């Protein structure tokens, strides 16, 4: 997959099927739009923004389900050929028609333009999928609006998934995402207390714009050396020993090694318990072992029934 940051002199070398959206989470609804574009037989070009529109238009921060690295991994897995990043601030005042003709047709050589059912674009976000189809037809290309993906009667959306993650409902979130909710962050130095407990952990600082999973302990996997290893992760502020920021602290079962400075992907499968403050570190040590055994039991069951949540 080619990753391209839009510039004025950009012109793609082949006709494409353009797919429009912000795609936070790259969930099952997004996957359906991309799958429809792949049916054209043309190169699939995802057109998205570096910033969430609300950050620019409303000066409002939005908690993201994924950072750019996870988003790019998800797009590549779905067979996207080109990923085009646009600077939203530079395009927010362009009309809907100019966006389609000057950018999608003239620059990205779009023959088809795909969007989701709730897509809005153009100056002020005033144009909907209906206007997109009309403008595409006017310029001799095909616009296609893909119907929502419904799960348990509800349309899959990033907003819905954020609420599930914030509530610790990782099984339901995975159902809508099509995969477990993930973190992909640098491993930083902690206080190294885990080593003294016999449970060495890796610490990762959650990004400022990262959605905050419900504080507590989760059965997780950590991707190390290309393998998904069973683990247990505490999301929160470590109330027993204290932390100045929100961290993901992960004990990778039966693993020894130095991961400082590396980026490690953590998949969150099952919420186990709330984060609590213990009276002393010995009680914390005992609880880590208990959590580890519960996580190990979960993954033994998961191996025999991978669709369990």
User: What is the rounded distance in angstroms from the CA atom of residue 91 to the CA atom of residue 84?
Assistant: 13
The model carries a pTM of 0.91
Q: Give tens-digit pLDDT for 139-178.
A: 999 999 999 999 988 889 999 999 999 999 999 999 999 9
pLDDT (tens digit, 9 = 90+) per residue, 24-75?
999 999 999 999 999 999 999 999 999 888 888 778 888 999 999 999 999 9
Q: 219 - beta bridge partners?
A: 232, 270
- State both tokens at 225: 């050396």
pLDDT in tens, 239-289: 777 777 899 999 999 888 889 889 999 999 999 999 998 878 788 888 888
Instruction: State residue 196's pLDDT score.
Output: 54
Show the tokens assigned to 15: 């006709």
The pair of three-digit structure tokens given for residue 88, joined into one six-digit string: 């939203």
In this prediction, residue 24 carries a pLDDT of 96
Alpha-carbon distance of 273 to 293, in angstroms, equals 13
In this structure, the number of other CB atoms found within 10 A of the CB of residue 27 comes to 25
Could you tell me which residues are beta bridge partners of residue 172?
none
Domains of the chain with bracketed CATH: 2-149 (3.40.50.620), 180-304 (2.40.30.30)
Q: Looking at residue 149, what is its pLDDT?
A: 95
């Amino acid at each position: 997959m080619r990753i391209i940051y839009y510039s004025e002199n950009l012109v793609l070398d082949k006709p494409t099927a353009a797919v429009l959206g912000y795609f936070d989470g790259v969930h099952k609804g997004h996957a359906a739009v991309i799958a429809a574009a792949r049916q054209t037989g043309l190169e699939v070009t995802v057109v998205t923004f570096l910033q969430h529109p609300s950050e620019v238009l409303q000066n409002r921060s939005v908690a993201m389900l994924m950072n750019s690295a996870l988003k790019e991994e998800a797009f590549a897995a779905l067979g996207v050929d080109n990923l085009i990043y646009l600077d939203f601030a530079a395009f927010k005042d362009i009309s809907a028609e100019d966006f389609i003709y000057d950018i999608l047709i003239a620059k990205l050589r779009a023959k088809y333009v795909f969007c989701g059912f709730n897509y809005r674009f153009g100056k002020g976000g005033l144009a909907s999928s209906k206007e997109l189809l009309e403008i595409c037809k006017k310029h001799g290309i095909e616009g296609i609006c893909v119907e929502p993906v419904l799960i348990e009667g509800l349309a899959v959306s990033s907003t819905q998934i954020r609420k599930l993650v914030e509530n610790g409902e990782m099984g339901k979130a995975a159902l809508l995402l099509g995969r477990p909710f993930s973190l992909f962050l640098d491993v930083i130095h902690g206080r190294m207390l885990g080593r003294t407990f016999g449970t060495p952990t890796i610490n990762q600082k959650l990004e400022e714009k990262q959605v905050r999973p419900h504080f507590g302990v989760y059965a997780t996997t950590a991707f190390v050396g290309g393998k998904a290893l069973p683990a247990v992760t505490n999301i929160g502020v470590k109330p027993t020993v204290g932390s100045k920021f929100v961290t993901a602290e992960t004990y990778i079962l039966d693993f020894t090694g130095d991961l400082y400075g590396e980026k490690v992907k953590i998949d969150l499968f099952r919420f186990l318990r709330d984060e609590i403050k213990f009276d002393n570190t010995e009680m914390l040590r005992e609880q880590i072992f208990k959590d580890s055994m519960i996580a190990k039991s979960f993954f033994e069951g998961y191996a025999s029934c991978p669709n369990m949540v």
